[in-house]
Amino acid sequence: MEALKAYVKGPASLQGDSSGVSTALVTVSHSNLKNYSNELRLDLHSTVESLKERLGRQCGTSPSYMLLQLFDGDNHKVCDMAEGFRPVGFYSPHDGYRVHIVDLDPGSVTAGGWLEDVSRVEKFTISDDAYNKRDDTFRKFKEKKLAEGASRSAATAQQEITDDFMADLAASIKVGDRCEIVAGQKRGEVMYVGRVEGLPAGFWIGIQCDEPVGKHDGMVKGKRYFTCPNGHGVMLRPDKLKVGDYPEIDPFEAELDEI
């Protein structure tokens, strides 16, 4: 009766003050959805039935099977909002109250936790053999992209090796320069600078090694580029050697250094 009197007096009395406030900010919970929590501003002049329809669109419960219960800020039940034609303000909700949705439909989509527990949903499975036979899978897409990437990398690398490959480095090297091979620090003399038939495009450096650590006598792929004792000749890329003051190492001095 007090709630009815308050409603008849108007929105201000519904809120317990004279500010003319006609809304209430409440939270919403659901009997079947344990993780469902929503904040909602109620229009105190709208009907309970319209509130049910609004909540039904949010939680999936049919308004015809919905019972609304009102709890205060201390979680004590105030009342059931049972009459759909009543304005929401008839039940005197306040800021901080909670509207609890009780789903009375045994066949509801919210029943049994179906909307929250994904482990209860039947999963689609397919064998590896059947999956591999399909052309529209992510695995096939990934394999295609990897193959395209490898093809582009190989093509790019091939484009980089042109007839002028390492020409800038070769320009600073001339026949007669003393040099040291980076790998192994073996020394020798530059005998040839230029391109070599039968080897990848670009510039090569022919070296007569001081020691018999080479592979030929200056003839490569049946063509002679320089002449040196057999086993002393080697062809290297310009970045594989250093030119400068690299005199021939005296074997006798080397033996003394090791003693």
* DSSP-derived secondary structure for 69-122: EEE-TTS-EEEEE--TTSBGGGG---TT-EEEEEE--TT-TTGGGTTT-GGGSP
pLDDT of residue 233: 96
Scanning the chain, the segments in alpha helix (DSSP H) are 2-9, 11-14, 48-59, 128-133, 138-160, 167-170, 251-258
SS3 assignment, position 22: coil
pLDDT of residue 20: 58
**Would the pTM of this model clear 0.85, i.e. be above it?**
no
pLDDT of residue 6: 46
Q: Which two tokens stand for residue 163?
A: 């007839």
Phi, psi of 126 (to 5 degrees): -150, 140
pLDDT of residue 11: 41
Q: Which domains does the chain have, with CATH numbers?
A: 2-113 (3.10.20.90), 168-258 (2.30.30.190)
Q: Which two tokens stand for residue 218?
A: 């200056």
Q: Which two tokens stand for residue 115?
A: 């909307």
In whole angstroms, give the CA distance from residue 187 to residue 175: 14
pLDDT of residue 133: 80
**Angle at the Cα of 80 from the Cα atoms of 76 and 83, rounded to 5 degrees:** 160
What stretch of H or E contains 207? strand 204-209
Q: Which two tokens stand for residue 5?
A: 């009197």
Instruction: List the pLDDT tens digit at each of the 259 positions of the chain.
Output: 454 444 444 443 444 443 456 999 999 999 888 777 789 999 999 999 999 999 988 888 899 999 999 999 999 999 999 999 999 999 999 999 999 999 988 887 777 655 555 555 566 677 778 878 888 788 888 888 888 776 666 655 555 678 889 999 999 999 999 999 998 889 999 999 999 999 999 999 999 999 999 999 999 999 999 999 999 999 999 999 999 999 988 766 555 455 5
In whole angstroms, give the CA distance from residue 112 to residue 149: 49
Long-range contacts of 219-225 (CB under 8 A, 24+ apart): 220/196, 221/196, 221/197, 222/198, 223/197, 223/198, 225/191, 225/192, 225/194, 225/196
Query: At residue 101, what is the residue type?
Result: I
